[in-house]
């Protein structure tokens, strides 16, 4: 499956996918129905209270100020004050509720995105650059966050005010109202035509922002190579290029984003002018009053000011939509490793069997051809062979990081795809070639993903570790279990990382444990210790060891020679060495 | 009617959380602010243009209510001329349009330009720094400097400058106009300015704490996300997705709660400001109405008051928030400036001598945060010899290689090359003579050719020789695009051994005098390893080889073995000598003995 986010999927209505994911998002709002309804009512009250202001003022002018009855002015001022007090209360309720709903929706959105990331298979992470992914999730999600927490509720509210003002305008005087609103039609048309262009420019810019940060990340993380090979200019050159691209796309996006405001202002001013000219004409023909004209002018502002604010929001809306497109690419990804209903299992089957398994990486050549083998309980297997022969790939299939392109992998005689993730991962342990630690303490790292041991105190844990023979390994860290782990730092050597990964896997007591060059950077004395620890695992534990060092495979019960996509059983260690010495077998 | 929107306010202050570290606090804020403004100096022309456009656009804006008032009054006095009013109105509107668009364009250009130039300056600076500096400053923090810190400086240029100018202008202009129309009515109306100011001050002070905490939570969220991406494989092997999700939910809930606190705070502020602004309208109606009845105020001016009040409120609020944009930009610029001002770790050696390959370490001590990684290490290596460094995990072997390349500097002691202090060599030339094969595979998102011929001085000839030596020819030829195949960032399509050999080829392509191998053989199978090491000896006969390794068999014939344990040299000598004198070495040897007969056979 194509998991590469920068390669567009075979296009069958990309717009639809954006829309459908937007729909999913809004469907979550439904849960907040009651809160939203209350907020909506509060919003209507606020808007109405505020909109009543100009009409009260206009009425006062016409009926009291112009007739010089100050008492009436005072009475209506009192009414106005009352309206404002209602509006302050309703305003508080509205902002508080809307803001809270917004935050809760964001919360759901963030969590869904993260959940999706967790659901996707390893392949997804291999096909995308870590820097790009991180930028997508941090930056783009942040932009959507901003829009949601700040602008979405505005949209609703501003539109409500506009509708209200529009109704007032039309009902005070229909012809004048219609004339006043006519520039809004031009605004609408203008917005409709320019929006795709603005959105496109923002999308290009976001892509460049992502590119810039992954460029920096790559260069800085590999700075030792940049220095050692005198390629500081490489860093500069790559950065300058990304920087320049970022600059020009940002300017382009900025110019586009800033177009709305002046245009909206222009047209709203014209609306005001129409009201003034037409209004005075109406007054002169006795169809209108001065007081009403003043309130009319106020309503015009109530109509066009929100529109101008919408202009400012519109740009951020376009940015959010562009970001949303990038994120929804992730949300629309489907895990291509489904759960499959189990056929009846073979009786008396081995722990692990490959049946005619072939495998090709996406867009790549086939790397394994028609592999068959069985792994029995309690035995130790060594997988040897030249680099690039397919050892790690085989191990990845055993632990179902990938599914075979052809053939079946059986665990206890049952299709491995019919196991739940939980069940499968408990049975199969895999110490990866490149160990990864999480920031935290050693304790957290060796208990990582190990629910059963989580609640133990350090003292109890020490006993468990002693029983497993892991105690001596722990002594290599200055503060034992509580030593700090910083994933970026140089404080922990590769060998130490491998030790932690080893402890982590052993404590889980899997039925099948794969060690993929898991001790490559550990000295041979310590390695002997690890060997002893492995001996302490239950007799039924099956071990698969991938290694280049002969001493680590000398104790294997069986040796498989893996090369050019074939897995061949070697009769003995000598046999395997001969195969290795011959180098690559004819393929 | 004045509508102030929570969202807009939040937008303005969203990033105002000050990531003030203890260090920044020591710098007086005034001084840092001055620095921030000094940043604009080279762009003086643009900034002046920006200010001029802003003033023209906004100034004209103030005329509109005047025109309306004039229209209404002239009508009530019976000498209304429609054409004049319309002409004036159209001209004003057009001027506003032109200048506000010009302003926004200049604003965009200026801010992006400032950001681009500053980014370039900073990246140039970083690119000149030493490896130790990058590690100490932490790559992800530098990334923040180059991205989000830049954004806040950009925001300052884009928004603060023009907004403050225009807001001040509008506030002062409006006040003056109001006062000239009718000072008795204007004075109580203007009173709302300090009232709004005070409520702002109080709320923002409270909000500051939340904003700072929300920054921290965002960092926390990002950390969880980043680790879940980088550790994707192990998470799937262990099936700890739920655990990761729980970690995320913890951070995410905290973010939500802080978000709600902020929203609540502003939900209180907004209606208050709105109410205060509305009070002004009420004053105009009650008091202004009184004046109109008395005859001291015209109806047109009464309307103008209403229009101006709408114009007045917004800039007051904006200025309140801009102070925070400035504060944030100041803090960001302070951090950028600190990187800019960091002394460039002296790499200023000037000696352009070519190396023979004699290396001497004298009393070297290296420590990290007080913990020694290497303690009083001394040894010497002869040109053209082969040396192996062995020892347990975390003994300091890699650090030793870093010292030899000058990637790090010792706290005590000196490294000598051919009797000359390493400091005196011109580093560029020096490093072109040393090939370093790192333990972890570092591949760039470039073609295979560029990854191997990573240094500019590499010729096609030396590239081919390196490929042959690293036994990569066959592999390269099997690729559809040969050397032009693109390598993905983490080299995921390559096996561990292939990556390792590419790293070796990269080092050899320099035609180095000295070759450093850091656990090179760990991921390469024995047969390939033997071939490769043979190739190295045949193709690069004068090479001084220093190899960090775990395996004794291939290094038995080396001129010198150095046994390192816990940062100290335990023993040096040939294999035979060590077997006789060094119990630790014997232990290591024995640990490999079980298979050594196979090694001997082959």
**Percent helix, strand and coil across chain B, each rounded to 5?**
65, 10, 20
Structural domain contains residue A422: yes
Confidence band for B370, pLDDT divided at 50, 70 and 90: low
Distance from CA of A12 to the nearest CA of B (A): 28
Tell me the two tokens of residue A566. 């074939």
Helix (H) or strand (E) holding B450: helix B448-452
> Within a domain: residue B470?
no
Residues in chain B closer than 8 A to A584 (CB atoms): 474
The reply to whether B165 and B249 lie within a common domain is yes
Same domain, yes or no: B162 and B220: yes
Write out pLDDT tens, residues B72-86: 778 777 776 778 888
CB pair distance less than 8 Å for B240 and A448:
yes
The domain boundary, picked from A331, A362, A383, lies at A331
Q: What is the pLDDT of residue B501?
A: 84
Residue numbers of the domain that contains A511: 352-581
- Strands in A130-181 per DSSP E: none
B296 in a domain, yes or no? yes
For the stretch B397-413, pLDDT in tens is 888 888 888 777 888 88
Residue of B15, B285, B345, B490 to mutate, interface with A, max A Cβ within 10 Å: B285
Does residue B83 sit in the same domain as residue B139?
Answer: yes
Alpha-carbon Rg for chain A in angstroms: 34
Q: Give the pair of three-digit tokens for residue A232.
A: 């500081």
Q: What is the pLDDT of residue A119?
A: 83
Q: Are residues A361 and A294 in the same domain?
A: no
Do B326 and B363 fall into the same domain?
no
CA count, 13 A, side-chain hemisphere, A471:
12
**A246 and chain B in contact, CB less than 8 A:** yes
Residue A516 lies in a domain: yes
Q: How many CA atoms lie within 13 A of A454 on its CB side?
A: 7
B165 and B220 belong to one structural domain: yes
What's the CATH number where B217 sits?
1.20.1560.10
What is the C-alpha separation between A469 and A44, in angstroms, rounded? 70
Enumerate the residues of chain A whose CB falls inside 8 A of the CB of residue B490: 126, 129-130
Distance from CA of A570 to the nearest CA of B (A): 16
Residue A203: inside a domain: yes
Q: Are residues A317 and A390 in the same domain?
A: no
> Do B226 and B372 belong to one domain?
no
Identify the burial level of A496 via C-beta atoms within 10 angstroms of its C-beta, where 0-12 means exposed, 13-18 middle and 19 or more buried.
buried
- Of A331, A363, A378, which marks where a domain is finished? A331
Cβ of B7 within 8 Å of Cβ of A150? The answer is: yes
Same domain, residue pair B293 and B365: no
Residue A6 lies in a domain: no
pLDDT in tens, B547-593: 888 777 777 788 888 888 878 888 888 888 877 887 777 777 777 76
A551 part of contact set with chain B, CB < 8 Å: yes
Residue A337 located in a structural domain:
no
Would an 8 Å CB–CB cutoff place A475 in contact with chain B? no
The CATH code of the domain that includes A236 is: 1.20.1560.10
Q: For residue B29, what pLDDT is reported?
A: 57
Task: Identify the three-state secondary structure at position B381.
Answer: strand
B428: in domain? yes
- Mean confidence (pLDDT) of chain A: 79
Pairing of strands A558-563, A484-485: unpaired
Residue from the list B1, B238, B427 with its beta carbon closest to the beta carbon of A53: B1
pLDDT, tens digit (0-9, with 9 covering 90-100), for B129-171: 777 777 777 776 787 788 778 888 888 888 777 788 888 888 8
* CA–CA gap between residue B336 and residue B355 (Å, rounded): 38
What tens digit of pLDDT does each residue of A176-215 get? Answer: 888 888 888 888 898 888 888 888 888 888 888 888 877 8
Write out pLDDT tens, residues A543-565.
Answer: 888 876 666 677 788 888 887 77
Whether chain B has a CB inside 8 Å of the CB on A272: the answer is yes
Question: CB-CB: which of A54, A96, A269 is closest to B264?
Answer: A96
Q: In this complex, do B281 and A57 lie within 8 Å of one another by their Cβ atoms?
A: yes
- Same domain, residue pair A246 and A372: no
Please check the confidence at residue B188 and state whether its pLDDT lies above 80: yes
Domain stops at, among B276, B308, B340: B340
State which of A478-482, B98-102, B265-269, B386-390 shows the largest mean pLDDT: B98-102
**Residue in A251, A265, A522 closest to B96 by CB:** A265
Residues of A (43-72) whose Cβ lies below 8 Å from B: 50-51, 53-54, 57, 60-61, 64-66, 68-70
Same domain, B314 and B422: no
- Res. B8: pLDDT tops 70: no
Is position B443 within any domain?
no
Is there a single domain that holds both residue A326 and residue A370? no
Task: Calculate how close chain B gets to A17, using CA atoms only, in Å.
Answer: 24
B29-48: per-residue pLDDT in tens? 567 777 778 888 888 888 88
In this structure, the answer to whether residues A317 and A453 fall within a common structural domain is: no
Distance from the Cα of A244 to chain B's closest Cα (Å) equals 7
pLDDT at residue A334 above 70?
Answer: yes
Rounded mean pLDDT, B523-535: 76
Listed residue (B57, B402, B585, B116) closest to A242, CA to CA: B116
The domain total for chain A is 2
Band of pLDDT at residue B6, cut at 50, 70 and 90: very low
Q: How far is A344 from chain B (nearest CA, A)?
A: 25
* CB-CB neighbors (< 8 A) of A502 in chain B: none
- A441 Cα to chain B: minimum distance (Å): 14
When the pLDDT of each residue in chain B is averaged and rounded to a whole number, the result is 78
The four Cα atoms B89, B95, B101, B103 give a dihedral, to 10 degrees, of -130
My answer on whether B139 and B178 are in the same domain is yes
| Rg (chain B; Cα; Å) | 35
Enumerate the residues of chain A whose CB falls inside 8 A of the CB of residue B147: 209, 212-213, 216
Question: pLDDT value at position A550?
Answer: 65
CB within 8 Å of A376: residues ≥ 6 apart: A350, A351, A542
Q: How many CB atoms lie within 10 A of CB A475?
A: 8
Q: What is the ipTM of this complex?
A: 0.77
Q: How far apart are CA A121 and CA A400, in angstroms?
A: 10
**Alpha-carbon gap, residue A161 to A168, rounded angstroms:** 11
B570, containing H or E segment: strand B568-573
Q: Which of A388, A435, A527 sits opposite B591 (nearest CB)?
A: A527
Q: Smallest CA–CA separation between A499 and chain B, in Å? A: 9
For residue A33, is it within any domain? yes
Residue B456 domain-assigned (yes or no): no
Q: Taking CB atoms and an 8 Å cutoff, what residues of chain B touch A237?
A: none
**Percent of chain A whose predicted confidence (pLDDT) is above 90:** 1
pTM over 0.90: no
Given a cut of 80, is residue B454 above it in pLDDT? Answer: no
Residue B300 lies in a domain: yes
| Environment class of A586 (CB within 10 Å of its CB; exposed 0-12, middle 13-18, buried 19+) | exposed
A504 plus A564 within the same structural domain:
yes
pLDDT of residue A248: 92
CB contact under 8 A, B393 and A493: yes
Residue where one domain finishes, among candidates A296, A331, A366:
A331
For residues A329-338, average pLDDT = 79
Report the residue of B5, B7, B110, B119 to disrupt the A interface, i.e. the one with the largest count of A CBs within 10 Å: B7
Residue B263 included in any domain: yes
Picking from A7-21, A176-190, A364-378, which range would have the lowest pLDDT averaged per residue? A7-21
Position B5 scores a pLDDT of: 42
Token couple for A386? 């030249």
B563 beta partners: B390, B571
State mean pLDDT over B434-452: 79
Pair (B406, B288) in one structural domain:
no
Give the single-character DSSP code of B487.
P
User: What average pLDDT does this structure show over A130-152?
Assistant: 71
Residue B85's domain comprises 27-340
Q: How far is A552 from chain B (nearest CA, A)?
A: 9
> Could you tell me if A219 and A112 lie in one domain?
yes
3-state secondary structure B226-287: HHHHHCHHHHHHHCCHHHHHHHHHHHHHHHHHHHHHHHHHHHHHHHHHHHHHHHHHHHHHHH
Does the pLDDT of residue A9 top 70, yes or no? Answer: no
For B300, name the nearest residue in chain A, comparing CA atoms only. A294
In chain B, what residues touch A115 (CB-CB under 8 Å)? Answer: 245
B565 three-state secondary structure:
strand
Verify that B81 and B44 share a domain, yes or no.
yes
Domain boundary among B307, B340, B373: B340
Do residue A208 and residue A162 come from a single domain?
yes
Clarify whether residues A327 and A358 are in a common domain: no
Q: Does any domain span residue B484?
A: no
pLDDT given at position B30: 65
Highest mean pLDDT out of A237-246, B69-78, B386-395: A237-246
| CB contacts, 8 Å: B506 with chain A | 229
Out of A80, A92, A134, closest to residue B267 by CB: A92
* Number of domains present in the structure of chain B: 2
Tell me the residues of chain A between 485 and 524 that have a Cβ less than 8 Å away from chain B.
487-496, 498-499, 501, 504, 508, 517, 520-524
Tell me, yes or no, whether A123 lies in a domain: yes
Q: How close B35 comes to chain A (CA, Å)? A: 23
Per-residue DSSP letter, A417: G
Q: Do A91 and B274 touch (CB under 8 A)?
A: yes
Which of A314, A320, A338 has the alpha carbon at shortest distance from A256?
A: A314
Residues A266 and A118 in one domain: yes
Residues B73 and B160 in one domain: yes
**Contact assessment for residue B454 and residue B462, using Cβ atoms and an 8 Å cutoff:** no
pLDDT band, very low/low/confident/very high, at B25 (cuts 50, 70, 90): very low
Residue A8 domain flag: no
Chain-chain contact of B230 with A487 (C-beta, under 8 angstroms): yes
Instruction: Give the CATH number for residue B422.
Output: 3.40.50.300
Both A459 and A534 in one domain: the answer is yes
Nearest to B412 by CA among B486, B474, B369, B361: B361
Non-local (6+) Cβ contacts of B585 within 8 A are: B561, B563, B570, B571, B578, B579
- Within this chain, do residues A304 and A358 fall inside the same structural domain, yes or no? no
Structure tokens at A154: 């505005």
CATH number at residue A388: 3.40.50.300
Q: How far is residue B571's CA from residue B538's CA, in Å, rounded to a whole number? A: 29
A12-21, A215-224, A359-368: which has the minimum mean pLDDT? Answer: A12-21
């Amino acid at each position: 499956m194509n998991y590469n986010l920068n390669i567009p999927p075979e296009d069958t209505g990309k717009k639809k996918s954006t829309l459908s994911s937007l729909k999913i998002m809004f469907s979550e709002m439904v849960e907040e129905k009651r809160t939203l309804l209350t907020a909506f009512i509060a919003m209507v009250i606020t808007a109405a209270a505020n909109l009543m202001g100009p009409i009260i003022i206009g009425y006062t002018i016409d009926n009291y100020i112009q007739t010089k009855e100050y008492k009436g002015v005072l009475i209506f001022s009192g009414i106005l004050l009352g309206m404002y007090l209602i509006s302050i209360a309703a305003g508080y309720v509205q902002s508080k509720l809307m803001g809270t709903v917004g935050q809760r929706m964001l919360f759901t959105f963030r969590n869904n995105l993260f959940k999706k990331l967790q659901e996707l298979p390893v392949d997804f992470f291999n096909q995308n650059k870590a820097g790009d992914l991180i930028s997508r999730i941090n930056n783009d999600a942040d932009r959507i966050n901003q829009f949601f927490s700040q602008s979405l509720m505005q949209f609703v509210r501003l539109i409500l005010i506009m509708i209200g003002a529009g109704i007032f305008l039309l009902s005070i005087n229909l012809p004048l109202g219609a004339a006043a609103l006519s520039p809004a039609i031009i605004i609408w048309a203008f917005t409709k035509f320019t929006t795709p262009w603005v959105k496109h420019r923002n999308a290009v810019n976001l892509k460049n922002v992502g590119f810039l940060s992954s460029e920096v990340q790559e260069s800085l993380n590999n700075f030792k190579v940049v220095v050692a090979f005198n390629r500081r200019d490489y860093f500069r050159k790559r950065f300058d290029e990304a920087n320049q691209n970022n600059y020009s796309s940002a300017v382009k996006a900025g110019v586009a984003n800033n177009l709305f405001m002046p245009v909206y202002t222009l047209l709203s001013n014209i609306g005001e002018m129409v009201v003034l000219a037409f209004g005075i004409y109406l007054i002169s023909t006795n169809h209108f009053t001065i007081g009403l004209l003043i309130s009319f002018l106020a309503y015009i502002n109530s109509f066009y000011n929100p529109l101008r604010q919408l202009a400012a929001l519109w740009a951020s809306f376009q940015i959010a939509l562009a970001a949303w497109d990038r994120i929804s690419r992730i949300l629309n990804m489907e895990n291509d490793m489904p759960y499959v209903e189990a056929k009846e299992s073979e009786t008396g089957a081995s722990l692990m069997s490959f049946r005619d398994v072939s495998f090709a990486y996406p867009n790549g050549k086939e790397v394994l051809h028609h592999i068959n083998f069985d792994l029995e309980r309690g035995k130790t297997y060594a997988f040897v062979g030249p680099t690039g022969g397919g050892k790690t790939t085989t191990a990845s299939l055993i632990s179902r990081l990938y599914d075979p392109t052809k053939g079946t992998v059986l665990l206890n005689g049952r299709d491995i795809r019919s196991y739940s993730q939980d069940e499968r991962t408990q049975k199969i342990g895999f110490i990866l070639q490149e160990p990864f630690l999480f920031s935290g303490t050693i304790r957290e790292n060796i208990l990582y993903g190990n629910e059963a041991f989580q609640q133990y105190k350090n003292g109890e844990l020490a006993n468990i570790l002693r029983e497993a023979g892991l105690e001596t390994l722990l002594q290599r860290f200055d503060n034992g279990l509580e030593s700090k782990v910083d994933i970026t730092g140089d404080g922990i050597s590769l060998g130490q990382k491998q030790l932690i990964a080893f402890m982590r896997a052993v404590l889980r007591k899997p039925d099948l444990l794969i060690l993929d060059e898991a001790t490559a950077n550990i000295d041979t004395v310590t390695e002997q210790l690890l060997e002893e620890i492995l001996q302490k695992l239950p007799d039924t534990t099956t071990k698969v060891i991938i290694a280049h060092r002969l001493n680590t495979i000398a104790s294997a019960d069986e040796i498989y020679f893996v090369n050019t996509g074939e897995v061949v059983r070697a009769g003995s260690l000598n046999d395997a060495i001969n195969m290795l010495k011959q180098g690559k077998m004819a393929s | 009617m004045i509508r102030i929107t929570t969202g807009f306010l939040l937008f303005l202050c969203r990033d105002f959380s000050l990531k003030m570290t203890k260090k920044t606090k020591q710098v007086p804020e005034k001084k840092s602010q001055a620095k921030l403004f000094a940043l604009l100096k080279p762009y003086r022309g643009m900034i002046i243009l920006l200010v001029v456009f802003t003033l023209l656009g906004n100034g004209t804006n103030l005329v509109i209510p005047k025109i309306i008032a004039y229209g209404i009054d002239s009508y009530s006095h019976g000498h209304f001329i429609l054409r004049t009013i319309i002409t004036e109105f159209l001209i004003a509107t057009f001027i506003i349009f032109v200048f506000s668009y010009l302003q926004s364009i200049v604003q965009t250009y200026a801010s992006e330009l400032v950001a681009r130039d500053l980014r370039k300056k900073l990246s140039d600076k970083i690119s000149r720094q030493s490896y130790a500096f990058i590690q100490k400053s932490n790559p992800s923090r530098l990334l923040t400097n180059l991205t989000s810190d830049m954004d806040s400086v950009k925001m300052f240029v884009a928004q603060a400058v023009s907004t403050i100018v225009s807001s001040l202008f509008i506030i002062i202009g409006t006040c003056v106009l109001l006062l000239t129309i009718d000072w008795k009515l204007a004075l109580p109306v203007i009173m709302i300015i300090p009232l709004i100011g005070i409520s702002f001050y109080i709320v923002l002070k409270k909000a500051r704490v939340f904003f700072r905490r929300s920054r921290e939570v965002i960092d926390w969220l990002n950390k969880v996300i980043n680790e879940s991406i980088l550790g994707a494989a192990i998470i799937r092997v262990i099936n700890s997705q739920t655990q990761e999700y729980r970690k995320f939910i913890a951070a995410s809930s905290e973010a939500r709660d802080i978000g709600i606190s902020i929203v609540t705070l502003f939900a209180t502020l907004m209606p208050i400001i709105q109410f205060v602004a509305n009070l002004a309208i009420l004053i105009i109606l009650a008091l202004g109405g009184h004046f109109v009845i008395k005859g001291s105020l015209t109806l047109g001016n009464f309307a103008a008051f209403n229009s101006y009040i709408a114009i007045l409120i917004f800039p007051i609020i904006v200025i309140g928030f801009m102070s925070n944009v400035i504060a944030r930009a100041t803090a960001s610029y302070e951090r950028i400036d600190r990187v800019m001002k960091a002394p460039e770790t002296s790499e200023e050696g000037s000696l352009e001598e070519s190396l023979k390959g004699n290396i001497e370490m004298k009393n070297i001590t290296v420590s990290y945060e007080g913990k020694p990684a290497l303690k009083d290490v001394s040894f010497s290596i002869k040109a053209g010899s082969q040396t192996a460094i062995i020892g347990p995990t975390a003994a300091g072997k890699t650090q030793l290689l870093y010292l030899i390349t000058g990637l790090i500097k010792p706290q005590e002691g000196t490294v000598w090359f051919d009797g000359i202090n390493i400091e005196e060599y011109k580093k560029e030339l020096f490093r072109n003579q040393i090939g370093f094969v790192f333990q972890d595979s570092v591949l760039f998102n470039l073609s295979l050719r560029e990854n191997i011929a990573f240094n500019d001085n590499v010729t096609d000839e030396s590239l081919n020789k390196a490929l042959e030596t690293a036994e990569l020819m066959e592999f390269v030829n099997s690729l559809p695009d040969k050397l032009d195949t693109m390598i993905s960032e983490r080299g995921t399509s390559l096996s561990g051994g292939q990556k390792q050999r590419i790293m070796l080829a990269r080092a050899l392509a320099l035609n180095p005098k000295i070759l450093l191998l850091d656990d090179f053989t760990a991921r390469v199978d024995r047969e390939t390893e033997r071939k490769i090491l043979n190739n190295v000896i045949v193709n690069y006969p004068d090479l001084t080889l220093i190899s960090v390794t775990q395996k004794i068999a291939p290094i038995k014939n080396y001129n010198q073995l150095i046994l390192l344990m816990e940062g100290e040299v335990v023993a040096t000598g040939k294999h035979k000598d060590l077997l006789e004198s060094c119990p630790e070495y014997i232990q290591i040897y024995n640990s490999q003995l079980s298979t050594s007969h196979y090694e001997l056979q082959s």
